[in-house]
């Protein structure tokens, strides 16, 4: 690795190194010491969590001491840094694994036919059944409408940025697309609340404001538009200029070149970006909660009347005062995660098969 | 390479001498003037220097250009519209407020006494604690994925981390409230017993839905995002720099400290600020894991804590028209905070072009 051994010269140029088993021995020693002192000895009221934490800390301290003695301070620092980096890794995986485990173990209890075919209409706090059919319809319709609006708009905006945009306007648009990716989702919800639910919607509804699934779609558009634009922009930049020049050399107009050459070449990447945006939008709770109203029965019409969505359903059930509600919430969460992760995985696999890298 | 010059072109971006001498660029090199240079650069920047459809009066080219420009401008319109509509709805609420909206802590909308002080404090405080927990861990994982772990392992785990970034926040909220709350209650009691002399652990209960719980959930949520961003940044370190450090006899850690970290520093700062932006705007997970009080307290273990976004989610259902205006006014404050944070991050990223594709 970092040291060089020169065969043929009598002296070994390498410094003294700890034997390979030394870190393992130190780890075992630290674990035993921690177990005796904390777990059995009851120092600091320790349970097994504290035992593990103290064992890791002891390991780091002992390793630093031993390595400094044998190998010198630079190598010791290297060893401690390596251990810290690996323990950060394990530390982060634990809660994430716990989320997945809890989700699956608690979620499967209500994954049954009833759950996927029934709404919550007429379900009281004492009923164990009831499903999320209405919520799934809501999620699919809202996300689908949002994609219908945001994909053409986002792709066109990306085409402008990459193919046409020059000067201050293009720089401003590029910058604010980036800034817009960071807008909190609840702000999008509040905006649609002011703009559509208690604004534009009055024109279609005899002067009355009202919640609807379409309002949720609009909020999701605000969130999806920058994501779609950014990913599409990246893909368009990857299209080789030689393709464009070949098309121009044949006398093809610029807009036809974009439509027939550039966009088809970038298509797999664009699809990936759109799917990732859809996956993110499907899980959004806050904006949908503010503008779609939530509803216990089935409503197929997203343009009028309250509509539920899986995310709102989880929120409702998690807060409901019924002993059966948490199980429904977990099952809905599992359904939502399965939907989102399937989209994400398919999108990532598509991206790997894309020719543009 | 020379683009075709068509007779139909009325306005050509090329330097004029090209039409007189069609011999290739090297013949023109000696007589290149600054003006001609600028024109050439401009011609290279514009992907098609000749507008091919200019003769027709109403044509696809113009229409297409219009459509794309309009879509691009829609982004600017939306940002401005968000600000305008929020301000328009917030003004009546702030005017109807009997106390100063920015300094009042309580939220008693029916009495017309409400303010954003405690909420804004809680928003920033919770997000900062989450960052303090998440950033070192995220850096460790990112380094592990980019420089330590075996390539196959790193690719697989990187994929898993990307997937976790896609898990909806409500799932983390549900997990925090149903599962994490018990360990955190024990942890709070333990922290108070042994570290109670530190003011932030000073409270002797009740424990449970506290800033500690909220920040932990938030930290776990922003961890994948910061990790993914900083891994991208670390992977862009030039191999030459790394090998040069190793060739000078640096240990692996010294190589990381002298080659990888300095190169990635702007990217790391930007990733952290982007994570902060996410944390500030996070709504549902915090609405489910914070206690929802209206006090300014540095204590992290006691039941309590609140943020602007969580307050909106929790109080929206019961709000009337005026109450919604008040919530929108608080949302305006959040919008301003996150806008400043995001613009800062973007300005840092724009200084280093190579990071833009990653972040």
pLDDT of A228 reads: 93
| Residue B53: inside a domain | no
Partner residue facing B48 (CB), from A159, A194, A254: A254
Taking only the tens place, the pLDDT of each residue in A7-66 is 444 456 677 788 888 888 988 998 888 888 887 777 777 778 888 888 899 999 999 998
Q: Write the CA distances from B321 to A195, B88, B99, B326, integer angstroms.
A: 14, 13, 19, 9
pLDDT of A11 reads: 55
pLDDT at A121 over 60: yes
* Proportion of chain B above pLDDT 90, given as a percent: 31
pLDDT at B14 over 70: no
| Residue B61: inside a domain | no
**Apex A163 CA angle, A160 and A168, nearest 5:** 60
Task: Quickly state the pLDDT bin for A285 (edges 50, 70, 90).
Answer: confident
Q: What mean pLDDT, rounded, does chain B reach?
A: 82
CB atoms within 10 A of CB A245: 16
| Residue A322: inside a domain | yes
| Residue B219: inside a domain | yes
Task: Quickly state the pLDDT bin for B353 (edges 50, 70, 90).
Answer: low
HSE on the CB side for B138, CA within 13 Å?
A: 30
pLDDT of B5 reads: 43
pLDDT of B327 reads: 92
Place of tokens 């909020």: A219
Q: Where are the alpha helices (DSSP H) in chain A?
A: 22-34, 48-71, 73-107, 113-117, 133-159, 167-180, 185-192, 201-204, 213-238, 241-249, 254-257, 263-282, 286-291, 310-319, 325-353
Total tally of structural domains belonging to chain A: 2
Token pair for residue A333?
């969460």
Tell whether B141 is within 8 A of chain A (Cβ).
yes
| B245 φ, ψ (degrees, to nearest 5) | -65, -45
| Residue A97: inside a domain | yes
Query: B171 and A348 in contact by Cβ < 8 A?
Result: no
Partner residue facing A78 (CB), from B149, B252, B283: B252
**Same domain as A56, residue A96:** yes
**Same domain as A212, residue A90:** no
Residue numbers of B between 311 and 340 with CB closer than 8 Å to A? 312-313, 316, 321, 324, 327-328, 331, 334-335, 338-339
DSSP run (H or E) holding B107: strand B107-108
Which range among A82-96, A197-211, B134-148 has the greatest average pLDDT? B134-148
Mean pLDDT (whole number) for B107-130 = 90
Residue numbers of B between 261 and 300 with CB closer than 8 Å to A? 274, 277-278, 280-284, 288
Q: When comparing pLDDT for B259 and B163, which is higher?
A: B259
**CATH code assigned at B317:** 1.10.3720.10
DSSP run (H or E) holding B48: none
Question: Which residue, of A89, A109, A129, is where some domain finishes?
Answer: A109
Nearest CA to A337 out of A125, A103, A134 is that of A103
Closest chain B C-alpha to A346 CA, distance in angstroms: 11
Query: A182 and B345 in contact by Cβ < 8 A?
Result: yes
**Same domain as A281, residue A183:** yes
Task: Quickly state the pLDDT bin for B138 (edges 50, 70, 90).
Answer: very high
pLDDT of A192 reads: 92
Among A340-344, A353-357, B24-28, the range scoring the smallest mean pLDDT is B24-28
| Residue A15: inside a domain | no
Q: Which residues pair with A97 in a beta bridge?
A: none
- Cβ atoms A106, A327 nearer than 8 A: yes
* Proportion of chain B above pLDDT 70, given as a percent: 82
| Residue A5: inside a domain | no
Q: How far is CA A171 from the centre of its chain?
A: 28
Q: When comparing pLDDT for A275 and A355, which is higher?
A: A275
**Whole-number Å distance between alpha carbons of B146 and B230:** 9
pLDDT of B4 reads: 45
Mean pLDDT (whole number) for A83-93 = 87
**Same domain as A340, residue A214:** yes
Q: Write the CA distances from B51 to A118, B233, B300, integer angstroms.
A: 59, 39, 63
The burial class, CB within 10 Å (0-12 / 13-18 / 19+), for A330 is buried
Q: When comparing pLDDT for A18 and B310, which is higher?
A: B310
For residue A47, which residues of chain B lie inside 8 Å, CB to CB? 186
Query: B162 and A1 in contact by Cβ < 8 A?
Result: no
| Residue B327: inside a domain | yes
Task: Quickly state the pLDDT bin for A198 (edges 50, 70, 90).
Answer: confident
Taking only the tens place, the pLDDT of each residue in A320-352 is 878 888 888 899 999 999 999 898 888 888 877
**Whole-number Å distance between alpha carbons of A333 and B178:** 13
Predicted ipTM beyond 0.90 = no
**Same domain as A148, residue A56:** no
Task: Quickly state the pLDDT bin for B358 (edges 50, 70, 90).
Answer: low
What SS3 class is residue A305? strand
Measured torsion, CA atoms of residues B158, B160, B164, B165, in degrees rounded to the nearest 10: 30
**Same domain as A92, residue A157:** no
B318: left (phi over 0), alpha (psi -120 to 50) or beta: alpha
Total tally of structural domains belonging to chain B: 1
Torsion sign (Cα): A258, A231, A177, A289: positive
For residue B283, which residues of chain A lie inside 8 Å, CB to CB? 184-186, 285-286
Taking only the tens place, the pLDDT of each residue in B166-201 is 888 899 999 998 889 988 988 888 888 888 888 888
pLDDT of A110 reads: 81
Task: Quickly state the pLDDT bin for A294 (edges 50, 70, 90).
Answer: confident
**Same domain as A240, residue A186:** yes
| Residue A3: inside a domain | no
Partner residue facing A329 (CB), from B68, B174, B324: B174
**Same domain as A76, residue A210:** no
Taking only the tens place, the pLDDT of each residue in A231-253 is 899 889 889 999 999 999 999 88
Q: What mean pLDDT, rounded, does chain A reach?
A: 85
**Apex A25 CA angle, A19 and A28, nearest 5:** 160
Closest chain B C-alpha to A79 CA, distance in angstroms: 8
Task: Quickly state the pLDDT bin for B11 (edges 50, 70, 90).
Answer: very low
**Same domain as A87, residue A153:** no
**CATH code assigned at A241:** 1.10.3720.10
Token pair for residue B130?
């989450």
For residue B138, which residues of chain A lie inside 8 Å, CB to CB? 92
| Residue B319: inside a domain | yes
Nearest CA to A179 out of B80, B330, B227 is that of B80
Domain coverage including residue A347? 116-353
| Residue A64: inside a domain | yes
Nearest CA to B183 out of B79, B289, B267, B88 is that of B289
Question: Which residue, of A84, A109, A134, is where some domain finishes?
Answer: A109
Question: Which residue, of A75, A109, A143, is where some domain finishes?
Answer: A109
**Same domain as A54, residue A198:** no
| B207 φ, ψ (degrees, to nearest 5) | -105, 165
Straight-line distance from the first to the last Cα atom of chain A, in angstroms, rounded to the nearest whole number: 31
**Whole-number Å distance between alpha carbons of A95 and A313:** 24
**Same domain as A228, residue A208:** yes
pLDDT of B48 reads: 52
CB atoms within 10 A of CB A322: 16
Mean pLDDT (whole number) for B341-357 = 77
pLDDT of B27 reads: 43
For residue A99, which residues of chain B lie inside 8 Å, CB to CB? 167, 171-172, 175, 220
pLDDT of B38 reads: 55
Domain coverage including residue B155? 107-356
Tell whether B341 is within 8 A of chain A (Cβ).
yes
Mean pLDDT (whole number) for B234-251 = 91
pLDDT of B25 reads: 43
**Same domain as A243, residue A268:** yes
């Amino acid at each position: 690795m970092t040291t060089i051994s020169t065969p043929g010269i009598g002296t070994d140029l390498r410094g003294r190194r700890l034997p390979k088993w030394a870190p393992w021995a130190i780890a075992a020693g630290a674990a035993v010491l921690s177990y005796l002192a904390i777990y059995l000895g009851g120092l600091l009221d320790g349970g097994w969590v504290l035992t593990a934490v103290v064992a890791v800390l002891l390991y780091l301290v002992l390793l630093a001491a031993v390595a400094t003695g044998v190998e010198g301070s630079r190598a010791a620092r290297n060893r401690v840094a390596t251990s810290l980096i690996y323990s950060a890794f394990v530390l982060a995986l634990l809660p994430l694994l716990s989320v997945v485990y809890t989700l699956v173990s608690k979620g499967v209890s209500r994954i049954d036919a009833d759950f996927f075919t029934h709404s919550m209409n007429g379900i009281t706090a004492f009923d164990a059944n009831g499903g999320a059919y209405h919520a799934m319809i809501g999620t699919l319709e809202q996300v689908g409408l949002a994609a219908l609006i945001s994909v053409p708009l986002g792709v066109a905006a990306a085409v402008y940025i990459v193919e046409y945009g020059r000067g201050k306007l293009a720089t401003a648009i590029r910058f604010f697309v980036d800034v817009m990716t960071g807008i909190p989702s609840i702000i999008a919800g509040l905006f649609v609340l002011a703009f559509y639910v208690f604004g534009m919607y009055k024109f279609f509804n005899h002067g009355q404001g009202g919640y609807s699934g379409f309002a949720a779609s609009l909020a999701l558009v605000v969130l999806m538009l920058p994501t779609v634009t950014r990913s599409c922009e990246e893909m368009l930049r990857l299209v080789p200029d030689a393709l464009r020049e070949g098309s121009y050399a044949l006398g093809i107009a610029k807009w036809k070149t974009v439509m027939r050459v550039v966009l088809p070449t970038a298509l797999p990447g664009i699809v990936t970006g759109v799917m990732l945006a859809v996956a993110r939008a499907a899980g959004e709770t806050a904006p949908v909660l503010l503008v779609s109203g939530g509803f216990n029965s089935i409503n197929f019409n997203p343009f009028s009347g309250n509509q539920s969505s899986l995310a709102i359903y989880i929120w409702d059930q998690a807060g409901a005062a019924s002993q059966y509600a948490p199980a429904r919430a977990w099952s809905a969460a599992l359904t939502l995660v399965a939907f989102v992760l399937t989209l994400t995985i398919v999108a990532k696999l598509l991206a790997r098969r894309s020719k543009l890298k | 390479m020379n683009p075709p010059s068509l007779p139909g072109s009325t306005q050509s971006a090329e330097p004029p001498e090209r039409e007189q001498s069609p011999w290739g660029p090297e013949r023109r090199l000696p007589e290149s003037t600054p003006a001609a240079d600028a024109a050439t650069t401009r011609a290279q920047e514009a992907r098609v220097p000749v507008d091919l459809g200019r003769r027709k009066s109403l044509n696809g080219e113009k229409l297409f250009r219009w459509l794309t420009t309009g879509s691009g401008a829609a982004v600017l319109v939306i940002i401005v519209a968000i600000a305008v509509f929020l301000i328009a709805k917030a003004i009546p609420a702030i005017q109807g407020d009997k106390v100063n909206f920015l300094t009042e802590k309580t939220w008693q909308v029916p009495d017309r006494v409400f303010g954003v002080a405690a909420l804004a404090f809680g928003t920033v405080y919770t997000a900062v604690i989450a960052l303090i927990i998440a950033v070192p861990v995220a850096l460790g994982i990112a380094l592990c994925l980019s420089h330590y772990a075996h390539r196959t392992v790193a690719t697989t785990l990187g994929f898993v981390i990307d997937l976790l970034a896609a898990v909806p926040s409500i799932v983390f909220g549900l997990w925090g409230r149903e599962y994490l709350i018990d360990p955190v209650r024990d942890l709070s009691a333990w922290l108070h017993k042994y570290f109670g002399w530190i003011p932030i652990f000073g409270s002797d209960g009740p424990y449970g839905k506290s800033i500690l719980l909220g920040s932990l959930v938030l930290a776990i949520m922003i961890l994948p995002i910061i990790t993914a961003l900083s891994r991208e940044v670390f992977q862009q370190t030039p191999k030459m720099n790394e090998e040069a450090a190793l060739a000078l006899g640096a240990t692996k850690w010294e190589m990381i400290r002298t080659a990888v970290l300095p190169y990635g520093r702007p990217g790391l700062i930007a990733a952290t600020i982007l994570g902060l932006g996410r944390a500030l705007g996070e709504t549902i997970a915090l609405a489910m894991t914070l206690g929802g009080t209206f006090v300014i307290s540095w204590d992290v273990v006691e039941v309590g804590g609140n943020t602007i976004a969580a307050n909106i989610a929790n109080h929206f259902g019961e709000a009337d028209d005026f109450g919604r205006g008040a919530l929108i006014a608080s949302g305006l404050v959040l919008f301003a905070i996150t806008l400043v944070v995001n613009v800062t991050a973007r300005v840092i990223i724009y200084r280093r072009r190579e990071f833009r594709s990653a972040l």
